[in-house]
Amino acid sequence: MSDSIWGYQPTTGHIAGTDLTGYKVEATDGSIGKVDKHSDDVSSAYLVVDTGVWIFGKHVLLPAGTVQRIDQVDQKIYVALTKDQIKDSPEFDKDKHIGDVGYHEQIGEYYEGHRA
């Protein structure tokens, strides 16, 4: 198990370098959207998920440590979070928050509190 919320767990089936853009994202209680952008950066891996109409076009940043499993065949990513946990996460603005250390700390603290 990765100690960092920003790293993929060894059991997820993640293959570094795989383009996850467009993969569907499934919370523990249903679909939440699709991957708009992702990063495999060591100690800062994440998914940016476009929630579409589910929460009115909001984008959310999910640290790689929230991923339970990646299904390469069906192009689905399963995360260990409920829809409400994701919906209640700190607001994400892709133009402001990519590379913002303070924002990453805020997101990390939020999701660490929901980690299984």
Residues 23-51 have a mean pLDDT of 92
Q: What average pLDDT does this structure show over 69-81?
A: 96
**Whole-angstrom Cα distance, residue 18 to residue 20?**
6
How many CA within 13 A on the CB side of residue 12? 21
Q: Where is pLDDT greater, at 32 or 115?
A: 32
pTM, 2 dp: 0.89
Other Cβ atoms closer than 10 A to 98:
15
What confidence score (pLDDT) does residue 44 get?
87
**Tens digit of pLDDT for each residue in 76-98?**
999 999 999 998 888 888 778 77
76 to each of 7, 30, 70, 95, how far by Cα in Å?
18, 12, 6, 26
